[in-house]
Amino acid sequence: MNTLKKIGLTALGTSLVAGSAFAGEITASGDAGYTYSSEEVGVRTDEGYGFNHDITFSGSGELDNGFTVSTTMILVEAATLSSSNVTLGMGGLGSITIGSGWAGVGGNFDDMTPRAYEENHDGMKTTTAIDSMGALSDGNQVHYTSPSFDVGGGSLSFQLGYTPEAGDAATGEGGVAAQSATYGSSTTAGVNISYGGLTAGAFGEEVENDQGESARTENAMSATWYANYSFGPVSIGYQTGGLNMGMPGAAEAATSAKTIAAAYGNFEFEKMSIAFNVNENLSVSWGELEETYDAQSNVKGGTEVADVEMSSTSIQFAYTMGSMSIKGYQTDTDNPGWDSNAKSDEVTELAVNFAF
């Protein structure tokens, strides 16, 4: 994005050397635009027009010892805070980030397959498993990112995260994390490897279950791995994984709607996609996502409940002209909400956006 406004400043800061001063700057950038969307469920079709605007404020400065400090804050349509964070860059030692609304380590692994516009779940009216990697560790995470290491002509980097109280609640200056009645601390880890046109990675999260022995089932977890390969203008990708929120209770029927936050059992996913850059301005993509609810009913000795597969196919395009872009998708979903009785859902979106 082009810088809208820059304000030079000199601020007094504290580094490893007390009283050290550093020079920095604050920048503002953003984007705005219009959308048209329609949703067809059975014989019913709903449609509407919308708008979007994101304004990003960023600040950065360098300390006398070479370390850097940076911060980002994003405001969205309702003038509400979407995400904010502060990062300490330590050169060859990596970086440490604390913030909220930025999804932590898991947010860097939630859908890694190539696409022209949005992830499949953007056109799905339910929270998906592939979009929930590390979701319980978002609100109060200490996130470490390593520098990149050369490995046999390729590169490797890793990320580590720790959350004292799992959940989405942000913790401001001098605050303590809101205690959850369900979850305790969480740990996350991810690794990325690249070599030539190949990029691959894996992520894992484990969250302590603090419901007490009488209701305790198991710790919550999420995990995934992916691999993408690019050759010329074509990129192909594959990703698989799953999660279990460690919720107590009985398996849900195949004919009922389910939510990841409350359902007992496993949610597993598999995603494949291909993207093609027609030229430097136009790209198109196709992606297929299959997510399965596995009730795990036989584990508790209950009545066997059939697995339910929710599948979606998304066709997308993106065309850019300088700071203007026109993008769109059509996403078809069968068994939305992992409900075998639910009607298929088709969502179409067309967006015109301007960056500044």
Q: Domain holding 223: CATH number?
A: 2.40.160.10
Mean pLDDT, range 62-73, rounded to an integer: 88
Whole-model pTM: value is 0.84
Checking if the pLDDT of 48 tops 80, the result is: yes
Mean pLDDT, range 66-88, rounded to an integer: 83
CB 314 within 8 A of CB 287: yes
How many Å apart are CA 276 and CA 254, to the nearest integer? 37
Listed in sequence order, the residues at least 6 apart from 31 whose beta carbon sits closer than 8 Å to its beta carbon are 1, 52, 53, 54, 353, 354, 355, 356
Tell me the CA distances in angstroms from 262 to 76, 139, 241, 244, 246, one per residue in order. Answer: 28, 19, 19, 10, 9
Q: What is the distance, to the nearest Å, from the Cα of residue 204 to the centroid of all Cα atoms in its chain?
A: 14
Amino acid identity, position 134: G
Tokens of 224: 């995934």
Could you tell me the residue range of the domain that residue 248 belongs to? 96-355
Mean pLDDT, range 283-308, rounded to an integer: 82
Within-domain flag for 224: yes
CB 98 within 8 A of CB 89: no
Mean pLDDT, range 30-40, rounded to an integer: 92
Within-domain flag for 25: no
Within-domain flag for 4: no
pLDDT at 128: 93
- 59-62: long-range contacts, CB 8 A cutoff, minimum separation 24: 59/24, 59/25, 59/26, 59/27, 60/24, 60/25, 61/11, 61/13, 61/22, 61/23, 61/24, 61/25, 62/22, 62/23, 62/24
pLDDT in tens, 299-353: 555 567 888 999 999 999 999 999 999 999 999 999 999 999 999 999 999 999 9
How many independent structural domains does the chain possess?
A: 1
Within-domain flag for 24: no
pLDDT at 89: 93
From first CA to last CA, the distance across the chain in angstroms is 6
pLDDT in tens, 134-157: 888 877 788 999 999 998 889 999
Mean pLDDT, range 98-124, rounded to an integer: 87
Short-list 81, 144, 70, 135, CA closest to 103: 135
- The residue with greater pLDDT, 4 or 29, is 29
- The residue with greater pLDDT, 329 or 16, is 329
Share of the chain above pLDDT 70, in %: 85
